Structure 1
Amino acid sequence: MRGQTTGRGPYNPRLTRGIFWLGMAGLVAISFLVLIYILFNFA
């Protein structure tokens, strides 16, 4: 693992990182919406 930026390998690191951050943002948004939903229901 030498940190090379060439396209060799089974996956594209930039694409994988983008998908990872997209998933993290989605999880945060969903948990935030659930939190707001619970607060409005039990307030």
Structure 2
Amino acid sequence: LGLLYLASGNLLAPIVTHALYDLAALSVLARVNPAAARSVV
């Protein structure tokens, strides 16, 4: 993400990329192990 920031010169690019990655990871987690996705740590 740091390289993305350096390449774009804009902080919004890595922020949006990180948010989309987190959304995808949580979607996969919810499909693979629904009980773990609902647990609160």
Aligned-residue identity in percent: 4
Unaligned runs of 5+ in 2: 1-7, 35-41
Aligned length: 27
Give the alignment's TM-score, normalised by structure 2: 0.57
Q: TM-score, normalised by structure 1?
A: 0.54
With CA pairs under 8 Å and 6+ residues apart, which has the higher RCO, 1 or 2?
2
Structure with more of its chain in helix, by fraction? 2
Contiguous gaps of at least 5 residues in structure 1: 1-14
Give the 4+ runs in structure 1 shifted more than 3 A. Answer: none
Looking at CA atoms only, which structure, 1 or 2, has the larger radius of gyration?
A: 1
Please tell me the root mean square deviation across aligned C-alpha atoms, in Å. Answer: 1.4
